[in-house]
Structure 1
Amino acid sequence: MSRILLAGDHFVRNDLLADRLRAAVPAGSALDVRTLELAWPLVPFGPVAEVDEASDVEDELVALVGDAEVIVTQMAPVTERVLAAAPSLRLVVCTRGGPVNVNVDACTERGVLVCNTPGRNAVAAAEHALTLILSTVRAIPRIHGTVAAGEWRSDLYAYDECGLELGGSTVGLVGYGAIGRRVARMLLAFDAQVLVADPFVADGSLPDGVALVELDELLARSDVVSLHARLTPDTAGMIDAAALAAMRPGGYLVNSARGGLVDYDALAAALASGHLAGAGFDVFPAEPPPADWPLLGSDRVVMTPHLAGATRQTAHRAADLGAAAAAAFLAGDRPPGLVNPAVLD
């Protein structure tokens, strides 16, 4: 009997996880499945104990985990305290791209494998990034607001009010992982010139029409800069006042990766001065942003509330990948998405 705790939420739901798990394990496998429903996204995530971007259910998890061998979750906080309450635990499957809600070091010390599901939201996030780019350079929300208010602003056809076309423009992508690669392919279909800055990409490995450059060159040459990098100590605050000043006058910045990549105070100043024509972002330095955050009132900014990955296909894909990792482990195989292989070594 394999004992499994599913800690789903209102996006990657427990019924999806249970269905995919039962389909992934061999017929007749004995499973003892218990569930915990998390309130996310109806209640925002945040830091919990020593982990981040988690639902605040550490007490509930400690009470329920018991003799579970496997936890499958997107948002549950797998902390030192939870691990101490789970002596039988052998695998944590985090159904997201990065297991920031899991204390991976503590799991490794206890011999607990941790898997994630990279690429689960790559399609959704890439399409959302392109939507933000188009909405930003053509000021779609601002123009929509004028029509919705009963105005007919034909004066917005004036040269100084017009946006730009992606065809023939240069778009710089900071980060070229699963999402960045998809964005690049879509931009090439628009006949854009695509630049990439990513220290983990080998020169000569990019497709025709995509050039690998250093970040300074990308900022100086791009009409639009779109961020797709992970937030690490090396990338935190990488788009600061100096980086924004290095961007082309009249350029646009789009961030659908992580809020911590950008100095938003410096961005507000760059927009107010007219150095940048506009910005679009799905992520914020604090989520949700405070009511007095200056960029909330800017008509040069397009904002969405961290929804880039919010499609039903993403939820299904997360459940499929999470179930595949759990099923492989239960079969005695190396699970896909393993982030701490030292446990096996």
Structure 2
Amino acid sequence: MTHILAAGDHFVSPEFFIHAVRSRVPELDLTFSGLTLPWPHEPFGPVDTVDEASGTIPELIAALAGAEIAVTQMAAFTPEVFRQCPVLKLISVCRGGPVNVDLAAATAAGVIVSFAPARNAVAAAEFAVGLMLAAMRRVVATDSELKSGSWRGDYYAYENVGIELDGSTVGLVGYGAIGRIVARILIAFGANVITYDPYADPAAIAADGVEVVDLPALLRRSAVVSLHARLTPETRHLLNAENLALLPDGAVLVNTARGGLLDYTPLPALLTSGRLGALALDVYDIEPPPADWPLFAAPNVIMTPHLAGATRQTAQRAADIVGDDIARYLRGERPQHVANPLVFEGLVTGSVR
């Protein structure tokens, strides 16, 4: 009998995980326990050696008693957890990267870590395009002003009207799963899509009808720039004051990826001067932003609270992806999405435990 901890939250519930696993291996004798973490009713944050985690270490250790497998989105798997839970053999994290797991500690403990790439790709891509349209056409500002009793007919003046996606050049910084879907949507709108991604296959990108350029060329040519890169030490502040100065006057900038990709310091001045036409943000370098954050007072800014990936389909898809990998593990097969594959090889040869 295998015991599994389903450490869910108020987005992907323990019941989602339990159903996803049980429905894939109904013939196996499995037992489950559940733990509901407080996210998103309480913000996630760093816990010991991991990031973007929810809950406490003591409650997780207690819940893991006897569990060979743990499935979660936000639980914090730190070195202390691995020290206290020697039975644990697999952690399956239903997000694009297992940032809430200390991968080095998991590997040292012989614990496989799997994850769920592209679980929210469709949701995030649709949201990014929605923010583009809202920013380009002043949807949020005009809605707010009309509701407050102001009918701004002057927005119809040529110098105040927005631009269309059809015929515009849109630059995508990053061309992974999300960027590729964004490109497909934009091409359907009639946009000319260019991208900068030094890690992607240029031939595959060209086959999608997208032009590959370097970052300076992308910034100079794009009426709209949308960020879809991963945050790494190399990409932190990838768009800084020097790069932002390359944007054409009135350009629209959208960030639904990670706050650290963007240097926020020069943005208020660029917006006030009109050099940057509009800014749409779903992610921030500090979440939530402090009350005195300068961009709250800047013009032509749309802000949403890190919601791009939040759809019901994302929650279900996340559970399904990790359910598939747990089922593979239980059948003695290699999970499809493994962050530390050498551990799996060691387990199946009996050299780790």
Tell me the amino acid that sits aligned with residue 128 of structure 2.
A
2:154 aligned with 1:155: yes
Name the residue aligned to 2:232: 232
Q: Aligned to 2:113, what secondary structure does the other structure show?
A: strand
Asked whether the equivalents of residues 46 and 56 of structure 1 are also in contact (C-alpha less than 8 Å), the reply is: no
Name the residue aligned to 2:299: 299
Name the residue aligned to 1:321: 321
Q: Deviations over 1:173-222 (max 9, x none)?
A: 00001100000000001110100100112222223531001111101110
Q: Deviations over 1:250-289 (max 9, x none)?
A: 1111000000000111122221222111110100111111
TM superposition score normalised by structure 2: 0.95
Separation in 1, partners of 2:38, 2:94: 16
Name the residue aligned to 2:81: 82
Q: Which deviates more from structure 2 when the two are superposed, residues 33-42 or residues 145-154?
A: 145-154
Asked whether the equivalents of residues 277 and 300 of structure 1 are also in contact (C-alpha less than 8 Å), the reply is: yes
Of all paired residues, the percent bearing the same amino acid is 51
Q: Aligned to 2:283, what secondary structure does the other structure show?
A: coil
Name the residue aligned to 2:285: 285
Asked whether the equivalents of residues 66 and 85 of structure 1 are also in contact (C-alpha less than 8 Å), the reply is: no
Tell me the amino acid that sits aligned with residue 131 of structure 2.
L
Name the residue aligned to 1:247: 247
TM superposition score normalised by structure 1: 0.98
Q: Aligned to 1:21, what secondary structure does the other structure show?
A: helix
Stretches of structure 2 that go unaligned for 5 or more consecutive residues are 346-353
Separation in 2, partners of 1:248, 1:115: 42
Tell me the amino acid that sits aligned with residue 146 of structure 2.
V
Asked whether the equivalents of residues 271 and 299 of structure 2 are also in contact (C-alpha less than 8 Å), the reply is: no
Name the residue aligned to 1:276: 276
Separation in 2, partners of 1:344, 1:65: 21
Name the residue aligned to 1:267: 267
Separation in 2, partners of 1:5, 1:105: 21
Q: Give the aligned length.
A: 344
Separation in 1, partners of 2:29, 2:204: 46
1:128-147 → structure 2 map (5 Å cutoff):
128-147=127-146
Name the residue aligned to 1:94: 93
Separation in 1, partners of 2:295, 2:202: 37
Asked whether the equivalents of residues 5 and 34 of structure 1 are also in contact (C-alpha less than 8 Å), the reply is: yes
Stretches of structure 1 that go unaligned for 5 or more consecutive residues are none
Asked whether the equivalents of residues 114 and 340 of structure 1 are also in contact (C-alpha less than 8 Å), the reply is: yes
Separation in 2, partners of 1:28, 1:195: 49
How many angstroms does 1:110 deviate by?
1.3
Name the residue aligned to 1:17: 17
Tell me the amino acid that sits aligned with residue 14 of structure 2.
N
Name the residue aligned to 1:174: 173
